[in-house]
A and B are shown apart, each in its own frame.
Chain A
Amino acid sequence: MNKHSKIFFSAILLQLLAITAFSQAEKNDLSLSISYFNNNNHTQYLVAHAKSKIDGKFQMIPNINLSFYIATEDAANLLGKAVTNEKGDALLFIPPTAKDEWKKSAKVSFIIVSQKTKGFDEAKGNVEITKAKIQIDTAADRKITATLLELKDTVWTPVKAIDVKFAIKRMDADLNVAETPTYATDSLGVASADFKRDSLPGDSKGNLTLIAKVEDNDVYGNLSSEKIVPWGKSIKYFTEYDKRTLFARRGKSPLWLELLAYSIVVAVWGVLIYLFGQIKKLKQLGIH
């Protein structure tokens, strides 16, 4: 191999190495995490989050196909599949078919696996939760209590020193019941708060929906419980819908408008009909 050939092949090799390195560098690491939710102790679901560090910033990754498993990554334990949305989230309700695996232990783990894509290699994420539930209750003096229990073996046991948030469900977000946002549970697993929101608009009967929740807890996940109480102000919603207005549907125009319009139409067309009658009269006069 002469000198020029050596240089030529070295250049080709360097170029191939650069291309390989570049193609490898093109793929970013996909980070998957998973959150467990238990609402009102009956609706359980999982929310997976897909993100990746691109150009030094974490970005949510949409359109990632995810498989959700319970306990192990076996086909038998597949809970279902979902695709991440534009916020990088994918939601999956835990199906009843997972009942047997769910009952096996007080602790349950969930696994998510992403398929290999053009931009990302296969990735995994998992979470282990201890089964727990929260119960909300109220007293006559507008006191709200929440009891947090976890499953130990087969017994529901109180959990202490866990922050519980008490709030009122509103249209867009939850409103704290008082200035303090969270309350810690005591040794009996009970946290309590006073309802300080007087004259808060409720529904037509003055009902408000109270909610007690544990958020993003490393052991128990997200738990919440709701209760409807008549502590709000009764609001009678006034609506113009289907009333006689200028902007109502056909047949619901204001009476004054109908009266005015139809009177004009009847008056003018009355004259025209009279004149058509005069033509008939002219004909009769001409014939006779």
Chain B
Amino acid sequence: MESLAKQQIIEDLLPQKFGKAGKIWVGILLAFCTLGLVAYILQLKNGLVVTAMRDYVSWGIYISNFVFFVAISLVGSLITAVLRLTQAKWSTPLTRIAEIIAVSAITFASIIIIVDMGRPERFYNLFLHGRLQSPIVWDVIVITTYFFVSLLLLYFPLLPDMAIMMKHKDVTGMPWLNKMYSFLGSFWKNTAAQIHISEKAINILSITIIPVAFAIHTVTSWLFATTYRPGWDSTNFGAYFISGAFLVGAGAVVVAMYVFRRSYKLENYIKDEHFDKMGKVLVLLALLYLYFNVNEFLVPAFKMKKSEEEHLMGLFTGEFAIVFWFAISTAMLIPILILITKKGRKPFPAFIAGLLVVIGSWFKRYLIVTPTLLHPFLPMTDVPEGYKHYFPTWQEWSIALGSLAGALLIITIFARIFPIIPIQETITEIEEHEQA
């Protein structure tokens, strides 16, 4: 990277217009978003009866999706804050990718929770009549806080790049975009005083985001763990959720790294070295999550209390066994096997491993939420057959896929408008390196 001239870096990292593939990709995402929107309008019109959720399974794939989004959003704190505070300079090209994943995920976490409400127009009652004792209220507070912290952590490092963008107005080709850059960052003059304030703010945010990020996922885990149900009644849940969140977030970053590197030809910036290091991070996180999974399932399985037995056997050998072992394999075992070797940490295998982690982690969230609801302490008697099973309806699938597409659309549009790799930071690092 040392050999790259400053002008070359700017040219390489400025946002690029969508090519044919980019346009198709955006079209697909928009189609899924539209389908999700149509399904949601139907749900609003007819009520939650259009879903497969009934008296027992009252949390289906909407809540699974919510937990997944909250988990993936934790990546912002991992890459940006932890690696920044530990002065791991290699992570600089990845910080913005991580932060936009965090912002888009937390945005859709907030949206999907409203989708899960039968009467969304009553959402404001949560603020008017919410009880401070309820973990749901804590979740609302902490999600809102995390959203703003992530947004600020995205915004401050963007300021110097905004000034660069304004100098290259011709590249964007869209006047409204230039107006937006001007509105957001025209005041940035790259003075010593401004740089000092910005660096201080980023440091403060890096410190602040870690406890907030831990809180967001711990509180989400408490939504489950503070209830007395087989599978949720666990003291392990906070750590179990956080380790899983770090894993899926890191997996998502690896996937995004590969996609951006290929789409925007960023091989000089997102190097094999980054995949190697992120691969090691993924192995560590997968082992950690595996450890918590062993604690979460092996200890209750060893005791096999009557009330837990049906739930656990349902996961190990019963109706959820295929999904359970698929999730364990794809989210942890296979990625570990791929990434543990140096060859496995090359970009493509690492991308595959990251993709498996993300897919497996989505199903893992589904397994955390739904099977427990199908195994209450008191047996289900005198209920319609449909209450005893849960398979999402097309409306639920459409809304869930629409929300996932929406999160990807935010990331895609962001990368079209702003540099996905911090330009000024990259230049500064090279300059510092050369001076040293």
* Chain A residues with a Cβ under 8 A of chain B: 246-250, 253-254, 257-258, 261, 265, 268-269, 271-272, 274-276, 278-279, 281-283, 285-287
Contact = CB atoms under 8 A, between A and B. Distances in A.
Contacts of B148: 272
Interface stretch (B8-16, B127-135, B307-315): B127-135
Given A257-B133, A285-B194, A268 B145 contact: yes
Contact of A285 (B129, B141, B197): B197
B408 interface: no
Interface string B141-165: 1000100110010010001000000
A268 B208 contact: yes
A275 B205 contact: yes
B138 interface: yes
B201 A278 contact: yes
B7 interface: no
B1 interface: no
Contacts of B205: 275
Contacts of B204: 271, 274-275
Chain B CB count within 10 A is highest, among A268, A271, A282, for A282
B189 interface: yes
B132 A285 contact: no
A286 B186 contact: yes
How many of chain B's residues touch chain A, expressed as a range?
20 to 34
Contacts of B186: 286
Contact of B208 (A253, A265, A271): A271
Nearest to B211: A268
27 contacts: A246-B133, A247-B133, A250-B129, A250-B130, A250-B132, A253-B133, A254-B133, A257-B132, A261-B132, A268-B149, A268-B212, A269-B145, A272-B148, A272-B149, A272-B208, A275-B152, A275-B204, A275-B205, A282-B187, A282-B198, A285-B187, A285-B189, A285-B191, A285-B193, A285-B197, A286-B194, A287-B187
A262 to B, nearest CB: 9
B25 interface: no
B18 interface: no
B59 interface: no
Contacts of A283: 187
Interface in B111-149: 129-133, 138, 141, 145, 148-149
A272 B145 contact: yes
Chain A CB count within 10 A is highest, among B131, B141, B155, for B131
Interface string B25-36: 000000000000
Contacts of A279: 155
Contacts of A265: 141, 145
B138 A261 contact: yes
Nearest to A245: B133
B194 to A, nearest CB: 5
**A-B pairs with the 10 shortest C-beta distances?**
A286-B187, A253-B132, A283-B187, A250-B131, A253-B133, A246-B133, A278-B201, A286-B189, A271-B208, A285-B194
Q: State the main secondary structure of chain A at its contact with B.
A: helix
Contacts of A282: 159, 187-188, 194, 197-198
Contacts of A287: 187
Nearest to A262: B132
A253 B208 CA distance: 27
A273 B145 CA distance: 11
Contacts of B152: 272, 275-276
Contacts of B187: 282-283, 285-287
A287 B189 CA distance: 9
Contacts of A253: 131-133
Nearest to A260: B132
A141 B204 CA distance: 80
Interface in B167-225: 186-189, 191, 193-194, 197-198, 200-201, 204-205, 208, 212
Contacts of A272: 145, 148-149, 152, 208
A283 B189 CA distance: 10
B165 to A, nearest CB: 15
B412 to A, nearest CB: 27
Nearest to B187: A286
A232 B187 CA distance: 82
B363 to A, nearest CB: 33
Nearest to B205: A275
Contacts of B198: 282
A276 B149 CA distance: 11
A249 to B, nearest CB: 7
A276 B148 CA distance: 10
A276 B152 CA distance: 8
Given A265-B141, A271-B208, A281 B149 contact: no
Contacts of A249: 131
Contacts of B194: 282, 285-286
Nearest to B226: A246
Contacts of A274: 204
Contacts of B131: 248-250, 253
Contacts of A257: 132-133
A274 to B, nearest CB: 8
Given A268-B212, A272-B145, A282-B194, 17 more contacts: A246-B133, A250-B132, A254-B133, A257-B132, A268-B149, A272-B149, A274-B204, A275-B205, A276-B152, A281-B197, A282-B159, A285-B191, A285-B193, A286-B186, A286-B187, A286-B189, A286-B191
A282 B148 CA distance: 18
Contacts of B197: 278, 281-282, 285
B88 to A, nearest CB: 23
A254 to B, nearest CB: 8
A1 B326 CA distance: 86
B426 to A, nearest CB: 21
A276 B132 CA distance: 27
Given A271-B208, A285-B194, A248 B188 contact: no
B201 A275 contact: yes
A279 B185 CA distance: 10
Nearest to B131: A250
Contacts of B138: 261
B132 A258 contact: yes
Nearest to B202: A275
Chain B CB count within 10 A is highest, among A265, A274, A276, A278, for A278
A285 to B, nearest CB: 5
A271 B133 CA distance: 24
Chain B CB count within 10 A is highest, among A246, A254, A268, for A268
A247 B132 CA distance: 10
Contacts of A271: 204, 208
A287 B194 CA distance: 11
